[in-house]
Chains A and B, each alone.
Chain A
Amino acid sequence: MTKTVTDVVCPFCGTLCDDLEVVVSDDGKDLLEVYNACAIGAEKFLHSQAKDRITRPRMRQEDGSWKEISYDEAAEYTARILADAKKPLMYGWSSTNCEAQSIGSEIGEAVGAVMDNTATVCHGTSLIAVQDIGIPSCTLGEVKNRADRILFWGCNPAHAHPRHMSRYSIFPRGFFTGKGHAGRKIIVVDPRVTDTAHVADVHLQIEQGHDYELLDAFRVAFKGEKLPDFVAGIPKEKIYEVAETLKSGRFAIIFFGMGVTQSIGKNHNIDAAIAVTRDLNEYTKAAIMPMRGHYNVTGSGQVWGWQFGFPFAVDLSRGFARYNPGETTSNDLLRRDEVDAVFVLGSDPGAHFPFSSVKKIYNLPSVAIDPHETPTTEVCKVHVPVAFVGVEVGGCAYRMDNVPIETRKVVDAPEGMMTDEEFLKRVFARVKAIKGV
C-alpha cells in the first residue's frame, strides 16, 4: 500500500506552490510519485531518491580524491575554519528553512562573519532600490483576485517559475476576475521572444540594456507628455498605447526578474520601475513584485531583517551589523581577498559566481553544506550532505510575496543523515567551545 501526502509545499522556486500531492511507500521511506508540481519541482522531489546520493560528509584529500568523514569531524572542521578566520564568508541560505538561517545568524555573530545570500547576484539590486524609493506591493492572491493588467518585465515565468502564470498571474479565476485570462491584458517586456511573450497580448521587444529609458518613457506617457519617435527600439505610439492600457486597468501588477536587476543600470532600473508603479497609483491601483528565485531567499532576508536590520550583505565582523553593498557583498569580498574562509549552505556559487570568485573559494578553507553534488562541492574542501528541506524535513519558507509557509516532511532522509538545522547546532556548540563563550 502507498500513502498520499497532500498540501505539500514545493521547495524549488519563490512561487512556493503548496498544493502538491506526493505518493510515498507505506513505510514512509520511498517517494514514488509527485502530482501537481511543475517539471522542475517534481524532479527536486524525485532526485532525493537517487540511489547514488551522497549520504555522508567527505573531505578532499591531497590527491584530489574524497575521504568519508563523520558528521562530528565535519562539524569540527567547519567550526574550526570559522573560528580561526578573521573574516569568514557565510554565503547561501536561500535553499534552507528559516530555523537553519536563524542558527546560522548566531554562528555568524559568534565568529564575526559576513552573512550574504543569493540576492547578492539576483534581487539584491531590487532590495537596494526598495531602500531608495520603497515598494508598493501585495500578496499573490491580490493579483489572482483583482489584477487585470499584468506586466512581466525581464522575466520568463514560463521557464523560471512555471506555475506562476496558472496559480497567480495570467490564468486563475479569482473573486473579481471571474473571466480569468480573458479578463486580463498581458504585457511582456523582453528583448527575447520567450515562451511567456507568446502568451502576451503585447510584447515590447526592447533593445537589450535600455530598460531604464523605456521605464522613464512610461512615466512621460502617463502624463501625456512628448516622447521621441523611438525609445529603446519601441515606437512611441506603442508606448502611449501600453501606458493607456496600464492606466485604464482596475489593478495593475508589474513582475520583474533578472533581465532588469542584473543588466546595465541594475538598481536604477528598479528605482524607475517602482516609480512607474507609484505613478500608476495616481490613476488606478498598482503593485510591483520581484520574481524571487530560490524558494526561501526571501526568508533569509526576513530573518536577517529582524535580527540585524538588513536583508543581505550583512557584515558582522566588527561585532555589530554593517551593510554596504559593493563592499560587503560576496563577490567583492572574494575578489579583493578580504575573506579568509568560505562557508556555503543552500546555494551554488560554484555555478553562479564569476570564475574569478570561484577560484578564490577553491584556494580558501571552505565547506559546502548541500544535499546535492554541485560545482560548489567540487571546489570546497569539505562537503556535508544534508536532508532536503521540504522533502525530508519541514520548516518555514517565505514566498516571493513574503508570505511564510511551513514546508512539510514527506519522507525520511536516508539513515543517519543530518538536517541543516541539526548540523548547524552541532557546529555552533563547537564554535562556542572553541571561542570559550
Chain B
Amino acid sequence: MAEYLIKNGFVFDPVLGIRGDAADIAIKDGKIVETSAVKSPKVIDAAGKTVMAGGVDIHAHVAGPKVNIGRNFRPEDKLFNCKPGHGIERMQGGFSVPTTIRTGYDYAHMGYTTVMEAAMPPLYARHTHEEMRDTPILDQGAYPVFGNNWFVLEYLKNHEIENTAAYIAWLLRATKGYAVKVVNPGGTEAWAWGLNCENIHDPVPYFDITPAQIVKGLIEANEYLGLPHSMHVHANNLGTPGNYQTTLDTFKLSEGIKPNSKFGRDQVMHHTHVQFHSYGGEGFNFESKAPEIMDYVNTHDNITIDLGCVTLDETTTMTADGPFEHHLTELNHLKWANADVELETAAGVVPFVYSANNKANAVQWCIGLELGLLAKDFMRVFLTTDHPNAGPFIRYPRIMKWLMSQEARDQQFDAFKHKDKVIEATNLAGMDRELDLYEIAQMTRAGPAKSLGLAHMYGGLAPGLDGDVAIFDFNPNEPYAPDDIEKAFGNARHLFKSGVQVISDHEIASNGNKRTLWVNAKVNENPQVMRDVKEKFLRYYTVTLNNYEVAGHHYVPNPYVIEVDATQ
C-alpha cells in the first residue's frame, strides 16, 4: 500500500492531545505510523489546513428497512437533487434519505469514515447488511434492537441476566450486529396493540414488566458480556413536553453499575438524541430543560449522550418508536408508514418539516445546541442529528458552525418568526460559549470512538490507529466568518480511509474497502436459551430457525469481527 506523509497541517487530536499545533502525520499499510517509519511517502502539503482523524458517527439511520421505506415512499425527496454518476462515482439521489451510494460519498465529503446504523430489526438484518454493503467507503456496524424483544421481556421479568446475556450473544451472532440498542423500552411492544408505555414504571401489556426493569436488566446483561459498546437507549416518552423527568429517571437506572469492558469505555449507558428528551412544560408551553439534563450528565461519568440537533430542514422521521410516529402523523397529517415486526420491534416513518416560523421547532433547535454548550466533558457528549430525524447528517458542519460561533446563532435567532417567545422558553440566547476545534474533534471523533469501544481503531491520529485522516481547507489561525466553518467541514480537501486516499482535492478518488463490524460474544453453553429459541421459532416466528441467521458472503462480504469472551 502507498505511504503518505501529511505535512504541516494544524492538527486537532484529542488522542495525542494536540490542540492545533502544526504537525506531520504519516500513514503506512493502512495505519497511522511514526513519521520516521515512512521511507518514500507521497507528500500531502497540509500547510494552512486543519487535520483531524476520520469522523465517527455513533447514531444515524442510514441503512435498513425503515430507511428504505423512507426512500421509496418519498419520491419528492429526490426532486432537483439527483446527481449523475461520473468516473468511479455512481449516480446519486435524495436529500433527507439519500441512496446508499450518496450516503457513503456525503459522509466522506464531511471527513467521516465510520458510521453506525442505529436500529436494526433482527428479522430484517439481511436487508440492513445489503444496504451497508452498497454504501461505499464507510466502515459500518448496526445495532439490533432488544428493548421490546419477547425473549428479553420474558427473561428480564424474572431478572435472568445470564439468560438475557446468552440470548444477546446469540442474536448478535445471528444478525451480525454490533451493540445492544433499546428503543422506547416496552412501549413499542405495547404499540402492537396500539398502546404505549409513558414512563419507566408503566407496565408492558401482557408481559407485566416495566421499562425500568428492561433498561436496567439490559445494562447488566451488557456488562455481564463485556461488549465493546454500552447499552444504547432511546428512552420512553420521546418528544413529549415534560419528558425530561422520564429521561432523568432513565439516566438514574445506570447508577451504581460499573463498566466491565476490555475496550476502554467508561460508560454503561449511552443515551441517544437527548434533545428530543429534554422538554419541560406542557402542551404549547413547552420549554428547554437542557440545564437540568446536563447537570446530571456532567456529574455522572458512567453515561455518554449524543445531541440529536434540529437543523430546521424538511426531513423524514423514522424510528422503532412506533407509537411516537403515529402521534406525529396525527400532529402534522402527513403520510405515515408503520412496520411492526413479529416478536421483536416496530418502526414508523413520517415526513416532517422543521420550520424557523414554528416556535416549537425553534425551541427544539435551541435545546440541541444548549446541550452541547452546557457540556463539560466532550469525550462524553457527541454531535448527531439522529439522522434523519432531527435533520439530515449533511448538516453536521452547520451544527459545528452554530456550536463554534455566537454570531451564527444570533443570525438564526433573528430569522425566527417568534424570536421573543423562543428566547423566553430557552437559555441559548444568553450563552456566549464558543467551542473550539479540539472540542469538536472530541465530539465527532475521539469521544464516539471511545464510547463504542473502538478507541483502538478510530478517533485519533496516534500511531497504530487506522489510517483514517481528514484534511480540511480551514486555517484556524486566521480570521474567518462563521459560514467558512460550514463550508470547510462540509467539503474535505483530502480523506484517507484505512490508508486509502478516498478523496483527493474534494473529488471521490476511491470507493474504499468498506468493512462491516460485528461482535462475536462467546458465552457458556446455555441449553435453556437454546430451547427457548427453538420453541419460539417453531411456534411464533414465520421463518424457520435455520433461515434466520445472516450468513453468506453476499451480506457481509468484508467483515471485521470483534471477539468477546464471556465464558468465565
Q: How far is the CA of A87 from the CA of B342 in the complex (A)?
A: 43
Q: Is the CB of A287 within 8 A of B338?
A: yes
B300 interface residue per 8 A CB criterion: no
B391 interface residue per 8 A CB criterion: no
Q: How far is the CA of A18 from the CA of B547 in the complex (A)?
A: 7
Q: How far is the CA of A99 from the CA of B134 in the complex (A)?
A: 11
Most buried by B among A18, A127, A281, A305: A305
Q: Is the CB of B68 within 8 A of A305?
A: yes
Q: Using an 8 Å CB-CB cutoff, how does the interface string of A97-120 with B read, 1 for contact, 0 for none?
A: 011001000100100000000000
Q: Which residue of chain A is the closest to B87 with respect to CB atoms? A: A437
A250 interface residue per 8 A CB criterion: yes
For the complex formed, measure the closest distance between the CB of A140 and the CB atoms of chain B, giving whole angstroms.
5
Which of B71, B101, B124, B542 makes the CB contact (< 8 A) with A402? Answer: B124
Q: Is the CB of A310 within 8 A of B338?
A: no
Which of A144, A250, A284, A404 makes the CB contact (< 8 A) with B127? Answer: A404
What are the residues of chain A within 8 A of B71 when measuring CB–CB?
A: 305-306, 309-310
Which of the candidate stretches A60-68, A259-267, A314-322 sits at the interface with the other chain? A314-322
What are the residues of chain A within 8 A of B92 when measuring CB–CB?
A: 320
Q: Is the CB of A135 within 8 A of B543?
A: no
* SS of A interface (majority): mixed
Q: How far is the CA of A319 from the CA of B92 in the complex (A)?
A: 10
Which of the candidate stretches A167-175, A231-239, A369-377 sits at the interface with the other chain? A167-175
Interface residues on B, range: 35 or more
B126 interface residue per 8 A CB criterion: yes
Q: How far is the CA of A322 from the CA of B94 in the complex (A)?
A: 11
A285 interface residue per 8 A CB criterion: yes
Q: Is the CB of A404 within 8 A of B126?
A: yes
B341 interface residue per 8 A CB criterion: yes
Which of the candidate stretches B77-85, B227-235, B481-489 sits at the interface with the other chain? B77-85
What are the residues of chain A within 8 A of B73 when measuring CB–CB?
A: 130-131, 134-135
Which of B68, B84, B554 makes the CB contact (< 8 A) with A396? Answer: B554
A323 interface residue per 8 A CB criterion: yes
Q: Is the CB of A138 within 8 A of B194?
A: no
Q: With A278-B336, A306-B68 in contact, do A142 and B192 touch (Cβ < 8 Å)?
A: yes
Q: Is the CB of A396 within 8 A of B91?
A: no
Most buried by A among B74, B91, B193, B346: B91
Which of B101, B194, B542 makes the CB contact (< 8 A) with A285? Answer: B194
Q: Is the CB of A320 within 8 A of B72?
A: no
Q: Is the CB of A310 within 8 A of B194?
A: no
Q: With A131-B75, A136-B336 in contact, do A98 and B130 touch (Cβ < 8 Å)?
A: yes
Q: Which residue of chain A is the closest to B129 with respect to CB atoms? A: A404
Q: Is the CB of A302 within 8 A of B68?
A: yes
B298 interface residue per 8 A CB criterion: no
A222 interface residue per 8 A CB criterion: no
Q: Is the CB of B341 within 8 A of A139?
A: yes
Q: Using an 8 Å CB-CB cutoff, how does the interface string of B40-64 with A read, 1 for contact, 0 for none?
A: 0000000000000000000000010
Which of B65, B127, B194, B541 makes the CB contact (< 8 A) with A281? Answer: B194
List, sorted by A's number, 28 A–B pairs whose CB atoms are closer than 8 Å. Answer: A7-B544, A102-B134, A109-B85, A133-B336, A134-B334, A134-B336, A134-B338, A136-B338, A137-B339, A137-B340, A138-B339, A138-B340, A138-B342, A139-B340, A141-B540, A144-B342, A146-B192, A146-B193, A174-B540, A250-B193, A251-B192, A281-B326, A285-B193, A302-B127, A320-B85, A320-B92, A405-B543, A406-B551
B residues in contact (CB < 8 Å) with A? 63, 65, 67-68, 71-75, 77-78, 82-85, 90-94, 97, 99-101, 123-124, 126-127, 130-131, 134, 150, 192-194, 206, 326, 329, 334-343, 346, 349-350, 539-544, 546-547, 551-552, 554-555
